[in-house]
Amino acid sequence: MEILKSSQLDKAAELLRKGEVVAFPTETVYGLGVIYDNKEAYDKLVKVKRRPPFKPFTLMLADVEDVEKYAELNDVAKSLVKNFMPGQFTMITTAKAGLPKWCISDIGRVGIRIADYDLIRDLIRKTGKPLLVPSANRAGEEPGTTAQQVADTFGDEFPAVVDGKTVSNLPSTVVMVEDKYTHIFREGAITMDQIKKVISKE
């Protein structure tokens, strides 16, 4: 596995466009990424992650303006996007029609995240499409927080990891918006109280 410098994002983006898995830092932990609409790339990610294929990966976007291209947003969801994206926040909501079936759950939901990290947003823009991004670890293990940890864990299972710094070392907060109901699945750096304050206004 090659450890790429942050100045080598063009090379990382080229690998992603070719359907390869690439690891990179986010503001939480390291992530593994593949281009979202390539089934072979998705299958590689499932194999590397050692994760059941029926559990979808989060769709990571570069810009807030893109969220409604991939997800249906009610008023609560729009408020959560406005208040917490970009940020350490993942929102699960109804997927827009046309997303590949491997990107959505069996009940038609998609997880959306926009990292508050210019390196990753630049990488997605250079790639030209959103990425499917879980944390950089095998299922059941702790996520990597450095490029070297990722390289040591995965060896030559995929070609490259981008070097950089994570910040909080906590996974993102995960919230599902369903009609009038909001479920907080995982609390991270963004707290339940912060989310409830936004929801209460709606």
**pLDDT > 90: what percent of the chain?**
69
Token pair for 92: 């699960």
Half-sphere exposure of 50 (CA within 13 A, CB side): 9
**Ramachandran region, residue 179 (left: φ > 0; alpha: ψ -120 to 50; beta: rest):** left
In sequence order, the β-bridge partners of residue 95 are: 71
Per-residue pLDDT tens digits for 44-97: 999 999 887 678 899 999 999 999 999 999 999 999 999 999 998 999 999 999
Main-chain phi, psi angles of 25, to 5 degrees: -80, 145
Per-residue pLDDT tens digits for 16-35: 999 999 999 988 889 999 99
Instruction: Collapse the DSSP code of 188 into the 3-class scheme (helix H, G, I; strand E, B; otherwise coil) and give the result.
Output: coil
Please identify, in words, the CATH class of the domain defined by 2-200.
alpha beta
Task: Indicate if the pLDDT at residue 156 is higher than 90.
Answer: yes
